[in-house]
Amino acid sequence: MQRAMVLPGPDDGEMEAVVRTMLDDHWVSEGYAAPNSTVYPWQWLWDSCFHVLVWSALGDGDRARRELAVALAPQTPSGFVPHMHYVRQPGFHEDLWGRPDDSSITQPPMYGHAVAELVRAGEPVDDEVVERATAGLWFLLQGRRRDPSGLVRVCHPWETGADDSPRWDDHCPDGFDADRWRSVKNRLASTIETGPDGEALANPVFEVAPVGFNALVAFNARELVTVTGDDELAAAADQLVDALAGRWNEDLGTWVDAGPTADGSGRVRTLDALLPLLVEEDARRADRVIDQLLDPEAHGGPAGPTGVHRGEPTFDPDAYWRGPVWPQLAYLMVRAVAPRSPESAEALTRTTVAGAWASGMAEYWNPDTGAGRGAIPQSWTGLALVLARLSL
Ligand code: GLC
C-alpha cells in the first residue's frame, strides 16, 4: 500500500542550497519574494510572513525585515492590511479591487508570529513594524463584524488563504465545481462592503466566521503579546479562544465554523479547521486532534498531513485545497503539536520535509506520493528548511 511508503528526505545542506536558490530567484527588487515568479508574481500577505521565517533560517535578517516591512506598508489608517500588494505594477488589478496598489481584503495575520520569531532569533525588529502588526490585529478584532458566537467574520473565502476548501462548498450552487466556484469567488468580491479607505468590513453574501481564520487571529495576537506585553491584546485573544472552545464538536472531532454554513459544509473535516489546536488548552481534545494528524485513515500521510480528512467524500489527494499537503498548514500544525507531543511533531516534520523535497518544493503536493501540484517551486515551501531545523 502506497501509504506505508517512507519517502527519503534531503540532508540539511542540500535543503538549504535549494531553498536559498529558490528564494534568491524569486526575490523582487521592490523588497519581497514572489511566491512563484510566473504564477504568483505579486506580494501575498501570509506568504510573505512565512518567507520572513525562511529568510531568517537562511541567516538573511535584512531580507526578512524588508519583506515584512513591505508587506505591512500598504496598511490603511484603520489598521487593515491588504492581502495583495501590486508594488511592482500599481494599477494592475484596480478593476477587481477598486484600489490601485493593493487589494481590499486581507489574509491570516501571520505577521504576529513573524515578529515574534524574529525577536526569538535575536533579530532587531523596527518599532514601526511592531506597531503596524498590532494595528493589523486590532482591525480584525474591532473593525470586523462578529458572528453571535463571538468569532470574527471574513469577507471572502480568499481571506482565509484556503481558497477552494470544502468548508465553503455550501456557497457553490449545486455543489462544488472548480469553474463554477471561480465565478462565485469573483462575484463575492463585488458584494464586499468597504470602509473609507476601501478596506473590507463585511460581506452580506458571505457571513462565515471560520474557526481556522479565528485561530490564526488569536495565535498571532498571543505571539505579538510575547514581544509587546500588551495586556489588552492578550485579553482580546483570550476572548476569541473562549469563543473557539464553543465550536468544538465531539462527534466529529473538529471545530465547526460559525454562521450560515454551521450545519453544512462548515463541518467538513479539513486541516485548516484544526488550527485551533494552536490555542487549545484541553489536553483530551488536543490528543484527539494529534491522533488524527498521524492516523493514515484520517490526515496522516507519508508526504505530510492531508489538507482534508481522508474519510470525507470530497477528499481528493490531487485537487487544489481539497486534499493535498500544504506546507504552511503542516508547519503550523507542527508548531501546535510540538509543545504537547515532540514525537508526533517530529513525525509530522519528517513526512512534510520528505514530501516537500519529493515535490520539487511545490506549492502543494500529493500526501501519498509527494507528487508536486500547483506552482513549482513555491517560496513558502522553504518552510521545510525551517521545519527541519526546529528543535523539538
Ligand atoms: C493561492 C493560495 C493562497 C496563497 C496564494 C499565493 O491563492 O490559495 O493561500 O496566498 O496562492 O501563494
For the stretch 158-197, pLDDT in tens is 999 999 999 999 999 999 999 999 999 999 999 999 999 9
Q: Which of 43, 103, 163 to mutate to test the pocket of ligand 1 (most atoms within 8 A of CB)?
A: 163
On the question of pLDDT at 272 being above 50, the answer is yes
pLDDT at 4: 56
Residue with CA nearest ligand 1 atom 4: 161
Mean pLDDT of the chain: 96
Lowest mean pLDDT among 81-90, 210-219, 239-248, 250-259: 81-90
Q: How far is the CA of 177 from the centre of ligand 1 (A)?
A: 19
Question: How sure is the predictor about 9, in pLDDT bands with cuts at 50, 70 and 90?
Answer: confident
User: Ligand 1, closest atom to CA 379?
Assistant: 12
Please report the pLDDT score of residue 91 as a whole number: 87
Summarize the confidence of residues 96-120 as an average pLDDT: 95
| 280 phi/psi in degrees, rounded to 5 | -75, 140
Q: What is the pLDDT of residues 290-324, one digit of tens each?
A: 999 999 999 999 999 999 999 999 999 999 999 99
pLDDT, tens only, 16-26: 999 999 999 99
Distance 44 CA to ligand 1 centre (A): 7
Give the pTM: 0.97
Number of the ligand 1 atom closest to the C-alpha atom of 164: 8
Can you tell me the mean pLDDT for 228-233?
98
Identify the band that residue 381 occupies on the pLDDT scale cut at 50, 70 and 90.
very high
Within 6 A (CB) of ligand 1 lie 35, 40, 44, 46-47, 161, 163
Q: How does residue 1 score in pLDDT terms, banded at 50, 70 and 90?
A: very low
pLDDT, mean of residues 24-52 = 98
What average pLDDT does the segment 192-221 reach?
97
86 Cα to the center of ligand 1, angstroms = 15
